[in-house]
Amino acid sequence: MADLRVSLCGVSLKNPVIAASGTFGFGQEFDALYDIGVLGGISTKGLTLEPRLGNPTPRIAEGYGVILNAVGLQNPGVEVFLRDDLPFLRKKNIAILANVAGRTIDDYAAICARLDGEVDLIELNISCPNVKCGGMAFGVRPESVKEVTRAAKAALCRTPLIVKLSPNVESIAANAAAAQEGGADCVSLINTLTGMVVDIERRRPLLANNTGGVSGAGIRPIAVRMVFEACNAVTIPVIGMGGITCAEDALEFIIAGAAAVQVGTANFTDTLAMPRIVEGLHSWMDRHGVKNLQEIRGTLRLNG
């Protein structure tokens, strides 16, 4: 079989398929369906210093080929994660990415300091569109991307830092470069796009939060384009995500330059989506005589 191993900021992954934050909990529910140890890694539910209840309901709406969510970073808090969830994940022999968020730059620095050395990588969520403060407020402008990245990186001694970028920006390349300048070891993208669904009978948005983050298969072409632009703007690794449902989708991102991929919404429609993607990568590479991912990574050639 083809060699799917990936080295991400010095962390070894058995394959490039990572569960995306907010779609996989902390892995235990999916492990009841299949051994999540077959995955390359898991990006945890977004963590904050203190527990959060999230936004009021309804928090999920559907569209054609997409869903909208406005969960609002509901989570049990970092201490509960360390006590109840991390021991389980450590037994699974997968890379553990702690996705973290905050209301202030000091919050980001503090949670990074608390998790330093406890997980394999920290993914800085500066791009969530569903919270009133923090989140995407830090991910819109290159200057703020650089500032929050620098503060988070200064709080870390042992753990590589991934910065998760928002697509709701003027230039994804500029923001990726700003994250690298701030000290990021890696960037991941895209987080959800901002959208709205209207209840035409009530003439009100379906989501209590009015807007929500759009994810799912329908956003993949946007995500691939942005990942390609980011890969050409930085020298650090890029993790691609957005609408991946099968191995062929994942290969688009890798050919565009991604070091690894994250799979999110597909887990809701097919609970076995990620192990199927891993198997599909093996099959495609074997059929095409590709021995390892490095042979095809970043090989996209533009027309004209």
Is 15 within 8 Å of 34 (Cβ atoms)? no
CA dihedral for 89, 108, 50, 165, sign (positive or negative) = negative
128 catalytic residue (yes or no): yes
Long-range contacts at 111-114 (CB < 8 A, ≥ 24 apart): 111/47, 111/48, 111/49, 111/78, 112/152, 112/155, 112/156, 112/159, 112/161, 113/155, 113/156, 114/49, 114/78, 114/82
Is 155 within 8 Å of 105 (Cβ atoms)? no
Q: Which residue has the tokens 């970073």?
A: 73
**246 residue type, one letter:** C
DSSP result, 165-228: PPSSSS-HHHHHHHHHHTT-SEEEE--PEEE--EETTTTEESSTTS-EEEESGGGHHHHHHHHH
Q: Which of 92, 102, 144, 147 has the alpha carbon at shortest distance from 123?
A: 102
Distances (CA, A) of 69 to 40, 140, 195: 25, 19, 9
Chain-centre distance of CA 167, in angstroms?
Answer: 12
Q: Which of 295, 282, 283 has the alpha carbon at shortest distance from 4?
A: 282
Q: Which of 112, 128, 186, 231 is flagged as catalytic?
A: 128
* Beta partners for residue 261, in sequence order: 17, 240
Is 143 within 8 Å of 105 (Cβ atoms)? no
Give me the active site residues, please. 128
